[in-house]
Amino acid sequence: MYRWRHRALPRAERGWIVFARSTTIHAQPTAIEAGIAHVRDEVMPALEGMPGCIGLSLLVDRGSGRCIITTAWETEQAMRDSAVRVRPIRERAAETFRGNAEVEEWEIAVLHRDHRSQEGACVRAVWVEGDPNRADAAIEGYKSRALPGMEELEGFCSASLMVHRASGRGVSCTTFDSADAMDRNREQAKRIREANTRNMGLRVTDVAEFELALAHLRVPELV
């Protein structure tokens, strides 16, 4: 199995802000296994040598074919500088998955790990929209209200919040140890989500559940 070579990580306590680029591919179900292998064996080694890149993850929904590749970057400039080199890599990945790629860029505002994920881990992703002028308040609300509730969910492994400040959009990803744990905590998670999005003035635009096919994001604790 490919192992991401260790490099020094940014330290949140020194004021670093970490950024991410997500690529959503609506794959043909019959091409998903080939796509996962391609990201693991070709995409990850290619990205590993790029300045400022601190890892990659891959979420897969085998039922719908929706696959999300996320790369993390030490700075916004590093993410921007990588764009030209990443484009052909992304196009080749989309070809392998036999789908079209949609790209978004984010600030990773929160990341908290209880423990690292293992084989069989799954992710529930929640997309929201809100007032761009209240982004900082929403982030603080996520840290102080939503995150403590998530930590009580069965099988909780980690949680992250990525935001796009200009548009007021965000996506929260919560990782669980297994699909069974995620199934059993679904209703409790829904209650937490509804209470917190209401308190923070956010609108949920999508909720989806994924297999965590690859987990090599080396983002530091950001809380």
Q: Is residue 93 included in any domain, yes or no?
A: yes
Query: pLDDT confidence of 217, banded at 50, 70, 90?
Result: confident
Give percent above pLDDT 70 in the chain: 93
Query: pLDDT confidence of 10, banded at 50, 70, 90?
Result: very low
pLDDT at 9: 43
Query: pLDDT confidence of 219, banded at 50, 70, 90?
Result: confident
Q: Is residue 145 included in any domain, yes or no?
A: yes
Query: pLDDT confidence of 49, banded at 50, 70, 90?
Result: confident
Q: What is the mean pLDDT of residues 96-101?
A: 97
pLDDT, tens digit (0-9, with 9 covering 90-100), for 127-184: 999 999 999 999 999 999 999 999 999 999 999 999 999 999 999 999 999 999 999 9
Supply the range of the domain harboring residue 211: 18-217
Whole-angstrom distance, CA of residue 129 vs CA of residue 204: 7
Q: Is residue 90 included in any domain, yes or no?
A: yes
pLDDT at 218: 80
Q: How many domains does the chain have?
A: 1
User: Which carries the bigger pLDDT value, residue 10 or residue 201?
Assistant: 201
Number of helices (H), then strands (E), in the chain: 8, 8
Q: What is the CATH number of the domain that holds 96?
A: 3.30.70.100
Q: What is the mean pLDDT of residues 114-120?
A: 94
CA distances from 202 to 123, 133, 221 (A): 21, 12, 24
Average pLDDT value for the chain:
92
Exposed e or buried b per residue across 31-68, where buried means at least 16 C-beta atoms within 10 angstroms of its C-beta: bbeebbebbbeebbeebbebebbbbbbbbbbeeebbbb
pTM exceeds 0.85 for this model: yes
pLDDT at 48: 87
Q: Is residue 7 included in any domain, yes or no?
A: no
Q: Which of 55-59, 203-207, 216-220 has the lowest mean pLDDT?
A: 216-220
Q: Is residue 133 included in any domain, yes or no?
A: yes
Q: Is residue 5 included in any domain, yes or no?
A: no
Contact 52, 74 (CB under 8 A): yes
Give percent above pLDDT 90 in the chain: 87
What are the phi and psi torsion angles at 44 (to 5°)?
A: -60, -45
Whole-angstrom distance, CA of residue 213 vs CA of residue 211: 6
Q: Is residue 2 included in any domain, yes or no?
A: no
Contact 139, 163 (CB under 8 A): yes
Q: Is residue 171 included in any domain, yes or no?
A: yes
pLDDT > 60? residue 14? no
pLDDT > 60? residue 27? yes
What are the phi and psi torsion angles at 208 (to 5°)?
A: -145, 155
